[in-house]
């Protein structure tokens, strides 16, 4: 049985890390290099680094920054923000990223995903799907850092990107982001049950039991968290121990 992964998320804006709250990320929380050095010591399975303003500012990834961070990152590193082409994927892999996270570009033109997967393999392509409930409480996909609504249903988009070659899905609830009130289990379960590729739960983790629920009730393959690790005494290792006691296989 595959081990469940615990994945801290680092949100980067302009010059440093920020805390997100329903995708409003303005509060500075430190430097990415410092965070990476801390997580090197904390039994982390993977790390997700997202540049939350790249797409809105119309720019690509900061390859120099990723090159510097990857040199000191001793765990698998997934990088997203501003990725628009297969060439962007290639450059990120060349400077040290292990996986590349793609969001807006793929939602706006799913056909580019096939080129990315064909050139570099599905195993390194993560499609990020950001969701928000509409007035009728239906989950819909949003792009451009949660500022643009789309007609996409997350389940339909998840099926589409799996067929086109995505290796896994990072499913983030905009409504739950930064709240530490628990994951959107309903949307998580609906997506996870309809695809065969791993789904990473993101947005809302506040306790170890939220993570357990995401896995056992939401059917997630992995759990991502940011505020929970940055603003409480909870740690990735303690999360693993809790999940292990709950009967969920983890790497300890």
Interval 84-138: pLDDT, tens: 999 999 999 999 999 999 999 999 999 899 999 999 999 999 999 999 999 989 9
CB-based contacts of 46, cutoff 8 Å, min separation 6: 5, 7, 75, 76, 77, 78, 98, 99, 222
Q: Is the pLDDT of residue 19 over 90?
A: no
Answer yes or no: are the C-beta atoms of 184 and 214 closer than 8 Å: no
pLDDT per residue over 193-220, tens digit each? 999 999 999 999 999 999 999 999 999 9
Assigned architecture for domain 5-245: Alpha-Beta Barrel (3.20)
Using the Cα atoms of residue 98, residue 93, residue 18 and residue 41 in order, give the sign of their dihedral: positive
Q: How far is CA 85 from the centre of its chain?
A: 19
Q: Is the pLDDT of residue 24 over 80?
A: yes
Give the pLDDT score at 1: 62
Q: How far apart are CA 226 and CA 238, in angstroms?
A: 15
Q: Is the pLDDT of residue 23 over 90?
A: no
Q: How far apart are CA 66 and CA 112, in angstroms?
A: 23
Q: How far apart are CA 38 and CA 35, in angstroms?
A: 5
Cβ count within 10 A of residue 216: 14
Going from N- to C-terminal start, the domains of the chain cover 5-245
Whole-model pTM: value is 0.96
Q: Cα 33–34–36 angle (5° rounding)?
A: 65
């Amino acid at each position: 049985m595959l081990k469940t992964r615990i994945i801290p998320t680092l949100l980067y804006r302009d010059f440093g890390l920020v805390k997100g709250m329903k995708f409003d990320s303005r509060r500075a929380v430190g430097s990415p290099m410092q965070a990476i050095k801390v997580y090197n010591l904390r039994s982390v399975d993977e790390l997700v680094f997202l540049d939350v303003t790249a797409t809105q500012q119309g720019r690509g990834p900061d390859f120099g920054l990723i090159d510097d961070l990857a040199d000191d990152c001793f765990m698998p590193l997934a990088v997203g923000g501003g990725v628009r082409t297969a060439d962007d994927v290639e450059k990120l892999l060349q400077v040290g990223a292990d996986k590349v996270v793609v969001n807006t570009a793929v939602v706006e033109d799913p056909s580019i995903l096939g080129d990315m997967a064909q050139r570099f393999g599905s195993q390194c392509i993560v499609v990020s799907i950001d969701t928000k409930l509409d007035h009728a409480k239906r989950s819909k996909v949003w792009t451009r850092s949660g500022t643009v609504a789309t007609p996409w249903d997350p389940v339909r988009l998840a099926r589409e990107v799996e067929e086109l070659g995505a290796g896994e899905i990072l499913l983030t609830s905009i409504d739950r982001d930064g709240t530490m009130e628990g994951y959107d289990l309903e949307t998580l379960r609906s997506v996870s049950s309809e695809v065969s590729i791993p789904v990473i739960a993101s947005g809302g983790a506040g306790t170890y039991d939220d993570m357990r629920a995401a896995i056992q009730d939401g059917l997630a393959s992995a759990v991502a968290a940011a505020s929970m690790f940055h603003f409480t005494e909870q740690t990735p290792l303690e999360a693993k121990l809790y999940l292990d006691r709950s009967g969920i296989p983890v790497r300890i």
